[in-house]
């Protein structure tokens, strides 16, 4: 990916060289953390008459008013207008915020939607970096990269906690939900093509995501609709069409077309990738997975941990420990990074029996996916309230306690064949 270095009016440098920069706690002035407080990032299509181009507004305290080392709320809404703009392009532009903000010297960004995390370093703060400069960067980058569809752009950044709560819950989440619902009507069988995404090759050179309607990118930010929009916006860009005309094994989700595409896009590093198996030629992981699932041999099942979860899992590993085994664009059978929404997909490790393999998840994640996961379990196996059978950290953090719980609940994984 290329990011043009532009003349943006900010007191620190802006260049792709700063993308990989990490800001440690002791070097940080302030942080914003969507997993702890209300945050959001959103592109919103408006009528041209509603937008004043290059207007940047900050609603709430500036960095100077925030306590050193504090965790704060932030929500930014990038309003765009243009003759060729489509609401389907909004999430594609949003996903680029991660790169834009990371290119600021002394500023670090991860996550997306309402789960982003930003750190501003002491050095950037001392150089005069302010919240409004995030707006300058977003404005210039969006105008620069999406000039084919964005004619006018205005940025509103909220740091007032009550406003962030309002924007997150009343504006952003309903929009995210609507996007997810659109996708729900599509299945892998109902579409003619899949899409590749190689946006993360900047960090993981051999990593390729194959994005299908029922399997979004592992970052959770690129759905099949997003990949399709990305391809429309930039036909030679990170998302390419993958045909699905030559299936090898429908259970595994393997196709000659998919293999050819990943071979080419990984420069030969990958030969075979399946869409539905975590044991046989699983998809690779870069570093930005929302979740990781890993096999739990005592229960014939899998444990899932999400990035926000700070505790221990019954695998004897924390999320960062699981991540160190999973990332880097290599295939690691038995471990796989994936998006949160993939958990309730009928294609989730379908080759190994599907979601009935899930034996443990952090409580918060379980609650987040419960409605959708329970519906899938009912549809696939006729099981009611499946999430009640799944362990969490309040029930077990070791395999013995977990298996005792699963046995008591009659969890279906115990009756399945071992995975290895």
Interface positions with ligand SF4 (CB under 6 A): 197-200, 209, 211, 217-219, 221-222, 286, 288
Structure tokens at 130: 């302010």
User: What residues pair up with 197 in beta bridges, in sequence order?
Assistant: 209
What is the C-alpha to C-alpha distance for residues 103 and 100, in angstroms, rounded to an integer?
Answer: 5
Residue 209 binds what, of Zn ion, ligand SF4, none (CB under 5 to 8 Å, by partner type)?
Answer: ligand SF4
Nearest residue to ligand SF4, scored by beta-carbon proximity: 217
Residue 278 binds what, of Zn ion, ligand SF4, none (CB under 5 to 8 Å, by partner type)?
Answer: none
Residue 390 binds what, of Zn ion, ligand SF4, none (CB under 5 to 8 Å, by partner type)?
Answer: none
Residue at token pair 């051999």: 206
Subset of residues 185 to 224 that bind Zn ion, contact rule: CB under 5 A: 200
Residue 221 binds what, of Zn ion, ligand SF4, none (CB under 5 to 8 Å, by partner type)?
Answer: ligand SF4
Report long-range pairs for 140-148 (Cβ below 8 Å, ≥24 apart): 140/6, 140/8, 141/3, 141/6, 141/8, 141/96, 141/100, 142/43, 142/78, 142/80, 142/93, 142/96, 142/100, 144/4, 144/6, 145/3, 145/4, 145/96, 146/80, 146/89, 146/93, 146/233, 148/84, 148/233
- Residue 143 CB neighbour total at 10 angstroms: 17
Residue 222 binds what, of ligand SF4, Zn ion, none (CB under 5 to 8 Å, by partner type)?
Answer: ligand SF4
Nearest residue (CB) to ligand SF4, 99 versus 387: 99
Applying CB under 5 A, what is the total number of residues that bind Zn ion?
A: 3
> Using an 8 Å Cβ cutoff, are 247 and 254 in contact?
yes
Q: Of 295, 262, 255, nearest to 279 (Cα)?
A: 295
Q: Of 108, 34, 118, 99, nearest to 307 (Cα)?
A: 34
Nearest residue (CB) to Zn ion, 137 versus 323: 323
Subset of residues 284 to 303 that bind Zn ion, contact rule: CB under 5 A: 286, 288
Nearest residue (CB) to ligand SF4, 218 versus 373: 218
Q: How far is the CB of 209 from ligand SF4 (least distance, A)?
A: 3
Beta strands 358-360; 301-306: pairing state: parallel
Nearest residue (CB) to ligand SF4, 240 versus 254: 240
Nearest residue (CB) to ligand SF4, 224 versus 255: 224
Nearest residue (CB) to Zn ion, 172 versus 209: 209
Subset of residues 248 to 287 that bind Zn ion, contact rule: CB under 5 A: 286
């Amino acid at each position: 990916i290329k990011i043009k270095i532009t003349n943006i009016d900010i007191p620190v440098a802006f260049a792709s060289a700063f993308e990989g920069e990490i800001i440690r706690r002791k070097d940080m002035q302030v942080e914003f953390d969507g997993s702890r407080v209300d945050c959001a990032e959103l592109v919103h299509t408006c009528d041209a008459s509603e937008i004043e181009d290059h207007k940047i507004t900050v609603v709430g305290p500036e960095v100077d008013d925030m306590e050193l080392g504090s965790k704060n709320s932030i929500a930014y809404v990038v309003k765009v207008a243009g003759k060729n703009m489509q609401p389907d392009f909004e999430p594609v532009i949003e996903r680029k915020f991660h790169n834009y903000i990371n290119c600021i010297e002394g500023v670090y960004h991860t996550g997306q939607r309402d789960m982003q995390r930003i750190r501003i370093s002491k050095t950037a703060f001392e150089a005069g970096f302010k919240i409004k400069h995030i707006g300058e960067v977003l404005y210039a980058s969006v105008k620069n990269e999406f000039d084919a569809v964005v004619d006018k752009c205005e940025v509103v950044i909220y740091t007032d906690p009550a406003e962030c709560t309002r924007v997150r819950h009343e504006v952003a989440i309903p929009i995210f939900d609507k996007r997810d619902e659109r996708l729900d009507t599509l299945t892998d069988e109902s579409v003619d093509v899949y899409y590749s995404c190689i946006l993360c090759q900047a960090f993981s050179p051999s990593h390729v995501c194959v994005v299908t309607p029922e399997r979004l990118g592992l970052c959770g930010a690129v759905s099949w609709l997003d990949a399709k929009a990305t391809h429309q916006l930039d036909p030679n860009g990170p998302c390419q069409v993958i045909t699905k005309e030559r299936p090898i094994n429908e259970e595994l989700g393997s196709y000659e077309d998919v293999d050819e595409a990943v071979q080419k896009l990984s420069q030969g590093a990958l030969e075979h990738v399946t869409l539905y198996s975590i044991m046989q030629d699983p998809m690779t992981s870069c570093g930005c997975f929302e979740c990781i699932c890993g096999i739990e041999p005592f229960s014939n099942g899998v444990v899932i941990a999400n990035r926000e979860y700070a505790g221990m899992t019954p695998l004897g590993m924390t999320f960062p420990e699981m991540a160190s085994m999973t990332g880097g664009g290599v295939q690691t059978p038995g471990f796989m990074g994936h998006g949160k929404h993939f958990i309730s997909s009928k294609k989730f490790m379908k080759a190994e029996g599907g979601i009935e393999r899930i034996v443990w998840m952090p409580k918060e994640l379980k609650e987040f996916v419960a409605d959708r996961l329970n519906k899938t379990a009912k549809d696939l196996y006729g099981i009611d309230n499946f999430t009640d059978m799944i362990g969490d950290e309040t029930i077990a953090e070791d395999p013995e306690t977990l298996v005792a719980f699963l046995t008591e609940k009659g969890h279906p994984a115990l009756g399945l064949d071992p995975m290895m």
